Amino acid sequence: MASDATERDAHPNTASDGHGAAATFGASRMDWPAGYLPKGSTPAGGGSGSPLAGPRRDPGGLGLAALRVGPALMLLVVVLAAGALSPVFFTTRNLGNVLSQTAVIAILALAQLLVIVTRGIDLSVGSTLALSAVAGALVFGSMESGPLVILAMLATGAVVGAVNGGVLVWGRLPHPFIMTLAMLSIARGLALWLSGGQPISGMPEVVQRIGGGSIGWFPYSAFLVVGLALMTLLLTRAMVWGRWIFAVGGNPDAARRAAIPVKGVVVSVYVISGLAAGIAAVVNAGRLNGGSPTFGELAELDAIAAVVIGGASFHGGRGHVGNALVGALMIGVIRNAMNLLDVNAFLQPIVIGVVIVLAVELDVVRGLLEERLRILQAARS
Amino acid sequence: MTAPSPPALSVRGAAKRFGAVVALDGVDIQVRRGEVLALLGDNGAGKSTLIKCVSGVHRLDAGTVEMDGVPVDLGSPADARALGIETVYQDLALFDNLDPAANFYAGREMTTPRWLPRGLRLVRRRAMAEATVVVLRRLAVGVADLTTPVGLMSGGQRQAVAVARAAAFATNVVILDEPTAALGVRESRHVLDLIARLRAEGLAIIVVSHAMDHVMEMADRAVVLRRGRAVGELVPRPENKEQIVSLIVGGNG
């Protein structure tokens, strides 16, 4: 897939370093974080009256660090409030419950994050989840093989994702909203059609265990979420492909000119999103021991809400894996707490909606503060 | 005009049309190492098309491009990059959400291990950051904090990062499209110094600019384009400023 990219590693012309004493551009002195200095090199230029600062811990930096964990702090507040209001909340049984109920949203949110980072959106994941679950249930009906059932669910999701991404890119649709909105309808329709509109009960042992089993109170599905989160983290932080996802989201035009395979990157995030819907289908079908065409209704909105609560930007290029998980947990905890407190079920969507607006509002303020701090920091140095 | 070696870049008979519009109609240009060539012309004269053809964004309908006397094929931006041609676009083509090092290496990351497909390899973050520091320092470009996304930098700093990125990877030619258009006096000054430094490093430089004073200062030679043709070539000096202007607007040159 990476055939567009040049196969060699480019190295900059770092040979001649003869202009060290020339006037610095922009800032009045150069000031690299300690970690960026070549190992063993002493800061040069001290004689020319522009000493390089050593490692620096100023209030601006601390402020930035505090801002970055904003969503996590919010979750902490919500969790503590839930614990204070309900004595049941902190029981291991309930915590396990929260985790297992959040697993589906969390899995979808991890993939939705990648989509949103590329300036896209995937509205089809809830329907894809249902289609995958139904496909898995149908396969189970004809052959009782756990691995095959799981494979059917994952493959169904990945194929739907590939169709989303493929039609979007090669059909040159103006916006992913359109393709995935259409797929929301198509996949749900397929799920209803294939299942005759009825839930199909029965799932292999292994699927039931993934969806409903636990080690002590810690559900398998939560382990799965942790594993997937670590993989997503590896992708976004350490792998070339992940960096391309962020580059494409930041400036698609520049990415094209930088010989990044933009189309491949865009298609890949929809495939990943579809695949995630397949994985979420395994969890959902396992927990309920069957596949139903009504699975995952509005799950896409939960996933998008989780990503947005986690501070990702619809303008692309910005988002954190950890914060998307935090967003998913926030939704899960709030729902759980309201159930424990016997809050009227009709009130719950209202509360979730208010939380979304609050979280994004906080993020807007956070963004403004961060910008201010960054500029202050740049100006001071 | 005795030439000991062929020019770093030589374009001959460049022609390009978009539908009925003739953007380039047989243009010749040459740049040598250590030389700054200014491309002048009014809007629509063909300057942008010409540099886009050299940087691989467009493909010439007719004409040849030679580097050091060897014909080359510039079919894509990747081809141009591989030949050591780097372009600083007017919009800078920076990734505002990424830090300078990530901007430098977007699409040409230092990676490991080599046996994996490129997209699946791990990035060598530290090595890229270190190399970026070396380049920025060599070009005397000061950036306060290397972890700052370039979107939060000033216009001048962004321009400097974009120019430094081109300088870091160009082994032959650097193309700059309106490098000072969006900058204030002081920031323009820095960019002009930066261009002078690239010239001193022996790169061949093509600059598109409307700022006549800047052209006078930095360019060794200027080619004036009008309606897709090269209508004049001269050494820009304050004395012939009027002549240049009349060439550009199409008076009696």
| Pick from B57, B132, B144: CB nearest A377 | B144
In the predicted model, is pLDDT for residue A7 greater than 80? no
ipTM over 0.85: yes
Task: Please write the tens of the pLDDT for every residue from A266-315.
Answer: 999 999 999 999 999 999 999 999 999 999 999 999 999 999 888 888 88
Task: Please write the tens of the pLDDT for every residue from B48-69.
Answer: 899 999 998 899 999 999 999 8
Average pLDDT over residues B156-160: 87
- Give the distance from residue A192's alpha carbon to the nearest chain B alpha carbon, in angstroms: 38
Q: Which residues of A touch B169 (CB under 8 A)?
A: 10, 12-13
Closest Cα to residue A75, out of A371, A367, A337?
A337
Beta carbons of B95 and A378 less than 8 Å apart: no
Separation CA A229–CA A267 (nearest Å): 20
What DSSP string runs through A334-351? HHHHHHHTT--TTHHHHH
Which range, A41-45, A168-172, A343-347, B152-156, is most confident?
A168-172
Instruction: Give me the pLDDT at residue A282, please.
Output: 97
Identity at B157, one-letter amino acid code? Q
**Cis before A71? omega within 30:** no
Closest Cα to residue A307, out of A363, A365, A370, A348?
A363
| Tokens read off for A154 | 């994952």
- Give the distance from residue B72's alpha carbon to the nearest chain A alpha carbon, in angstroms: 17
Beta carbons of A25 and B169 less than 8 Å apart: no
In chain B, % of residues over pLDDT 90: 43
Residue whose entry in the numeric block shows the structure tokens 């300036």: A119
Instruction: Give me the pLDDT at residue B140, please.
Output: 79
H-state helical runs in A289-346 = 299-309, 321-340
Beta carbons of B152 and A240 less than 8 Å apart: no
Q: Which residues of B touch A38 (CB under 8 A)?
A: 130, 133-134
Q: Which residues of B touch A25 (CB under 8 A)?
A: 139-142, 156-157, 160, 190, 193-194
Separation CA A54–CA A43 (nearest Å): 9
Lowest mean pLDDT among A27-31, A219-223, B45-49: A27-31
Beta carbons of A26 and B91 less than 8 Å apart: no
Q: Which residues of A touch B141 (CB under 8 A)?
A: 24-26
Average pLDDT over residues B77-100: 91
Separation CA B98–CA B104 (nearest Å): 10
The answer regarding whether domain B1-84+170-253 maps to CATH 3.40.140.10 reads: no
Task: Please write the tens of the pLDDT for every residue from B184-218.
Answer: 888 888 889 889 989 998 999 999 988 888 888 88
Instruction: Give me the pLDDT at residue A36, please.
Output: 37
| Pick from B97, B118, B139: CB nearest A240 | B118
* Contacts of residue B31, Cβ cutoff 8 Å, sequence gap at least 6: B7, B8, B9, B10, B37, B173, B204, B205, B206
Separation CA B15–CA B9 (nearest Å): 17
Strands B70-72 and A214-215: unpaired
Beta carbons of A24 and B142 less than 8 Å apart: yes
In the predicted model, is pLDDT for residue A2 greater than 50? no
Determine phi and psi for A18, rounding to 5 degrees: -100, 5
Instruction: Give me the pLDDT at residue A129, please.
Output: 97
In the predicted model, is pLDDT for residue A18 greater than 80? no
Q: Locate the domains of chain A by residue range.
A: 71-380
Considering only alpha carbons, which residue of chain A is nearest residue B165? A12
Residue of B108, B186, B194 to mutate, testing the A interface (most A Cβ within 10 Å of its Cβ): B108
Instruction: Work out the number of other CB atoms within 10 angstroms of the CB of residue A17.
Output: 11
The residue with greater pLDDT, A54 or A169, is A169
What confidence tier does A60 reach under pLDDT thresholds 50, 70, 90? low
Separation CA B132–CA B103 (nearest Å): 10
| Pick from A2, A19, A30: CB nearest B117 | A2
Closest Cα to residue A106, out of A235, A260, A229, A23?
A229
* Contacts of residue A328, Cβ cutoff 8 Å, sequence gap at least 6: A102, A105, A106, A109, A302, A303, A306
Considering only alpha carbons, which residue of chain A is nearest residue B91? A254
Instruction: Give me the pLDDT at residue B76, please.
Output: 87
In the predicted model, is pLDDT for residue A40 greater than 70? no
What confidence tier does A31 reach under pLDDT thresholds 50, 70, 90? very low
Q: Which residues of B touch A22 (CB under 8 A)?
A: 140, 193, 197
Strands B70-72 and B111-112: unpaired
Residue of B145, B177, B191 to mutate, testing the A interface (most A Cβ within 10 Å of its Cβ): B145
What confidence tier does A81 reach under pLDDT thresholds 50, 70, 90? very high
Beta carbons of A16 and B148 less than 8 Å apart: no
Separation CA A345–CA A334 (nearest Å): 12
User: How many residue contacts between A and B have a Cβ separation below 8 Å?
Assistant: 216
Q: Locate the domains of chain B by residue range.
A: 1-84+170-253, 95-169
Instruction: Give me the pLDDT at residue A349, please.
Output: 86
Beta carbons of A26 and B81 less than 8 Å apart: no
Reported in sequence order, the residue ranges of B99-148 that DSSP labels E, i.e. its strands, are 111-112, 122-123, 141-142
Beta carbons of A35 and B153 less than 8 Å apart: no
Separation CA A334–CA A82 (nearest Å): 8
Q: What angle do CA B245, B25, B57 make, to 5 degrees?
A: 95
In the predicted model, is pLDDT for residue A33 greater than 70? no
| Pick from B106, B157, B171: CB nearest A258 | B106
Residue whose entry in the numeric block shows the structure tokens 């309908």: B61
Reported in sequence order, the residue ranges of A41-97 that DSSP labels E, i.e. its strands, are none
pTM value is 0.84
Average pLDDT over residues A134-157: 94
Q: Which residues of A touch B118 (CB under 8 A)?
A: 2, 5, 7, 240
* Contacts of residue B23, Cβ cutoff 8 Å, sequence gap at least 6: B16, B17, B46, B49, B228
| Tokens read off for A26 | 């922009």
Residue of A14, A25, A58, A68 to mutate, testing the B interface (most B Cβ within 10 Å of its Cβ): A25
Residue of A257, A269, A371 to mutate, testing the B interface (most B Cβ within 10 Å of its Cβ): A257
| Tokens read off for A51 | 């000493």
Average pLDDT of chain A?
A: 83
Beta carbons of A378 and B146 less than 8 Å apart: no
Beta carbons of A27 and B82 less than 8 Å apart: no
Beta carbons of B144 and A240 less than 8 Å apart: no
Beta carbons of B78 and A259 less than 8 Å apart: yes
Q: Which residues of A touch B175 (CB under 8 A)?
A: none
What confidence tier does A6 reach under pLDDT thresholds 50, 70, 90? very low
| Pick from B106, B107, B135: CB nearest A14 | B135
Strands B173-177 and B85-88: parallel
| Pick from B106, B143, B144: CB nearest A255 | B106
Residue of A1, A4, A13 to mutate, testing the B interface (most B Cβ within 10 Å of its Cβ): A13
The answer regarding whether domain A71-380 maps to CATH 1.10.3470 reads: yes
Q: What angle do CA B64, B67, B70 make, to 5 degrees?
A: 75
Instruction: Give me the pLDDT at residue A63, please.
Output: 65
Beta partners for residue B31, in sequence order = B9
Q: What angle do CA A32, A35, A40 make, to 5 degrees?
A: 95
In the predicted model, is pLDDT for residue A23 greater than 80? no
In the predicted model, is pLDDT for residue B253 greater than 60? no
Instruction: Give me the pLDDT at residue B249, please.
Output: 83
Task: Please write the tens of the pLDDT for every residue from A226-276.
Answer: 999 999 999 999 999 999 999 999 999 999 888 899 999 999 999 999 999
Which helix or strand (DSSP H or E) is residue B86 part of? strand B85-88
Considering only alpha carbons, which residue of chain A is nearest residue B58? A257
In the predicted model, is pLDDT for residue A11 greater than 70? no
| Pick from B77, B108, B167: CB nearest A257 | B77
Instruction: Give me the pLDDT at residue B251, please.
Output: 61
Instruction: Give me the pLDDT at residue A47, please.
Output: 32
Closest Cα to residue B204, out of B167, B179, B177?
B167
Beta carbons of A27 and B126 less than 8 Å apart: no
In the predicted model, is pLDDT for residue B4 greater than 80? no
- Give the distance from residue A231's alpha carbon to the nearest chain B alpha carbon, in angstroms: 12
In the predicted model, is pLDDT for residue A56 greater than 60? no
Separation CA B164–CA A201 (nearest Å): 62
Beta carbons of B131 and A318 less than 8 Å apart: no
Q: Determine contact, residues A33/A53, Cβ cutoff 8 Å.
A: no
Beta carbons of A254 and B147 less than 8 Å apart: no
Instruction: Give me the pLDDT at residue A381, please.
Output: 54
